[in-house]
A and B are shown apart, each in its own frame.
Chain A
Amino acid sequence: MKAPRSVSLTVNGDALSGDASPRMLFSDFLRDVLGKTGTHVGCEHGVCGACTVIVDGVAVRSCLMFAVQAEGADVKTVEGLADGDELHPLQKLFSEHRALQCGYCTPGMLMIAIDLVNSSDSLSEQDIKVGMSAALCRCTGYEGIIKAVAAYAEQVHGKPIKRENDNG
């Protein structure tokens, strides 16, 4: 039974299905079978984080999951963030804070940031640095990414984040 089987799942609110052999990685299924090429692949051993997507509400490495494991899952990818032409608030902040250059790591960074911010009600700048260290960026030196995520956390949590140079 190593033959391909059908996998049905929800991606960005759409019910989709496609065939995957059992060994097919979920990252390849998203990109090659479902055509969701916004999710990128940068190392295929779980380190770089470019392939991070949200599965059933939490950020996961899609290169460390098999496609057949996503049967019935509710998946969110970078393609699902903007509302038509209207960018998601985090996407806007990324552009504003120059949190991207080549854009290759960006989809993974966005998905990690959304999970990081939404699964917490309070983050410090250090929390953001540690949280965003879940993915690698080779272009920006991270400053813009950290600023954009901090600004997003402030929007979502409705309060300023605690910064390193704050007293106390």
Chain B
Amino acid sequence: MGVIAVAGLTRITGWVFDVVSELQKRANPVKPPLLDILAPSSLAEALSLLSEHGDAAMPLAGGQSLVPLLNFRLSRPDILVDLNRIANLAYIKDVGDQIAIGAMTRERAIEESDLVRQVSPLLQEATTQIAHLPIRSRGTIGGSLANADPAAEYPAVVLALECEIVVQSVRGERRIKAADFFEDILTTALAPDELLTEITVPKAPVGSGSAFVEIARRHGDYALAGVAAQITFANGAPTDVRLAVCGAGTTASRLTVAEEIIQRYGVGAEAIKAASDAAAASVDPMSDLHASADYRRRLAGVMTSQAVEKAAQRAGVRS
């Protein structure tokens, strides 16, 4: 996949334009196109607005990826349905062996949540690595997942943790497994009239360790490669290995071969090396200005070994 620029723009978010966009016309704008913003106060109202306006409308969550696209006029919705005034879409709840997180929960709230820190350290650690503090002040977990940027942290986390994504529309509610949610670059299983409303995150099992590691050209940039790991151990041996990668393909994805290697051979240096090589071999990254596909592949492997080592250490299995 080649990189083609539109008047110098090759990317606004973590993805690279692969098709010359006709959306940005002859000017080089930085002000959004003419649009309306509707700010429903209830979910029901929001769903009916999305249903009513169809393709003309687009939901606006934290806006940290969408607004830059609007400013460059690379996205031109007629109506933004602003979700920020809907009560009861921002929460972190303890629901037995899971936590339920409302889609409009700010990344910052997740980062600062004691509950998240206790029951899903992977989610907490990944959150601290998203962009920068002011972006996390407004960015939401639902917005990030629905945006499905392949270089973003959350898709890898929800894949690794096998979260469930709750979506609603006037037609009713669906619960989608994370594994079924991400379809392609910036493309999810969400229908145009559907809203992502909740994410359920299984609590980290006793005996597990986790780590989220990523590498970017500068701190806060979209990852060239990042790996989420959560490994459960019993008597020093892995019983459940979850590894997911971001930045190294058209979507975040599980590193299944690497998982199997760790599961079978443990977390010794040789096994980790083998898992790292397997991870590198299994990804299919893009080349862009910041890294070639080969380098990203290499980094996916390096991040895999670092994530596994850290997770094992945190579980008390490696020193």
Contacts and interface: CB of A to CB of B under 8 A. Distances in A.
Report if A and B touch in the complex (beta carbons < 8 A).
Answer: yes
B132 A49 contact: yes
A60 B71 contact: no
A72 to B, nearest CB: 9
A65 B63 contact: yes
Contacts of B38: 1
B108 A58 contact: yes
Interface string B1-45: 000000000001000000000000000001111111111000000
A10 interface: no
A52 B132 CA distance: 12
A64 B60 CA distance: 11
A61 B33 contact: no
B134 interface: yes
B220 interface: yes
A110 interface: no
A64 B64 contact: yes
Contacts of B171: none
A23 B64 contact: no
A23 B220 CA distance: 27
A105 interface: no
Interface in B137-158: 137-138
A139 B204 CA distance: 46
Most B C-beta atoms less than 10 A away, residue of A58, A60, A65: A60
Interface in B95-142: 108, 112, 132-135, 137-138
Contacts of B217: none
A130 B30 CA distance: 28
Interface string A56-73: 001111011110110000
Contact of B135 (A2, A21, A44, A61): A61
A59 B31 contact: no
A25 interface: yes
| A interface secondary structure, majority | mixed
Contacts of B112: 119
Contacts of B63: 64-66
Given A22-B36, A63-B71, A64-B64, A112 B133 contact: yes
Nearest to A53: B134
B31 A25 contact: yes
A52 B72 CA distance: 19
Contact of A133 (B12, B30, B34, B219): B219
Interface in B272-296: none
A149 interface: no
Interface string B40-65: 00000000000000000000000110
Given A64-B64, A69-B82, A133-B220, A52 B134 contact: yes
A45 B134 contact: no
A66 B82 CA distance: 10
Most B C-beta atoms less than 10 A away, residue of A46, A65, A112: A46
A156 interface: no
Interface in A110-144: 112, 115-116, 119, 130-131, 133-134
B84 interface: yes
A112 to B, nearest CB: 6
A46 B68 contact: yes
A61 B133 CA distance: 10
Interface string A1-26: 11000000000000000000111010
A52 B82 CA distance: 21
Contact of B138 (A1, A25, A64, A115): A64
Nearest to B220: A133
B133 A68 contact: no
Contacts of B31: 23, 25, 28, 44
Contacts of B67: 25, 46, 63-66
Of all A-B residue pairs in the complex, the 3 with the closest CB atoms, nearest first, are A134-B132, A45-B68, A58-B137
27 contacts: A1-B36, A1-B38, A2-B35, A23-B31, A23-B32, A23-B34, A25-B31, A25-B67, A45-B68, A45-B71, A46-B64, A46-B68, A58-B108, A60-B134, A60-B137, A60-B138, A61-B64, A64-B63, A64-B135, A66-B63, A66-B67, A66-B80, A66-B82, A69-B82, A112-B134, A130-B219, A133-B218
Given A60-B138, A130-B219, 18 more contacts: A21-B34, A22-B80, A23-B32, A25-B31, A25-B71, A45-B30, A45-B71, A55-B137, A60-B134, A61-B64, A64-B63, A64-B68, A66-B37, A69-B82, A115-B137, A133-B219, A134-B134, A134-B135
